[in-house]
Amino acid sequence: MTDRGGNREIVVAQVGAIEDGTGIKVPRERAGTLDDVAVFNDDGRYFALDNTCTHEETNLADGWVEDGCVECPLHSAVFRLADGAVLAPPAPTGVAAHAVRIDGNDVVLIPNPARLA
C-alpha cells in the first residue's frame, strides 16, 4: 500500500487475474474502508464499489457483471459499476464507488476518501 498525494493506493490483483465478468472482495481491513470493496472486471475495464448490497447484506463481488453493471446474487438488484447508482430494485439506494487504475500489470484500488475508516 502506498500513499500518493494523500491518496491511499492498494495493489489488489494483476491484470487478467480477475476473470472477465467477475469480481473479487478486498477486505475492509486491507482497503482501510468502512465496507469491504468489490473490484470488478467488465470486458477489460476495472471498477470498484462498496461490496455490501443496500437491500440485504450480500457480497456484490459474487454478483453477475455485464454491460457496465453488477447484479446482486441474492435478490437481483442492479448497480452501475461506474458510480454505484442503483438501477433496479429491490435495493433502495446505491453504493459508494472507488477509483481503480492500472499501473503496468497491477490493478490498483484508490479508496473513496469519503468511505475511509
pLDDT for position 117:
87
Alpha helices, H only, the chain: 28-31
Residues of the chain falling short of pLDDT 50: 5
pLDDT, tens digit, 9 for 90 and up, residues 21-54 = 999 999 999 999 999 999 999 999 999 999 999 9
Query: Is 87 in a helix, a strand, or coil?
Result: strand
pLDDT for position 57:
86
- Residue 110 bridge partners (DSSP): 99
Distance between CA atoms of residues 70 and 29, nearest Å: 23
Other Cβ atoms closer than 10 A to 66: 14
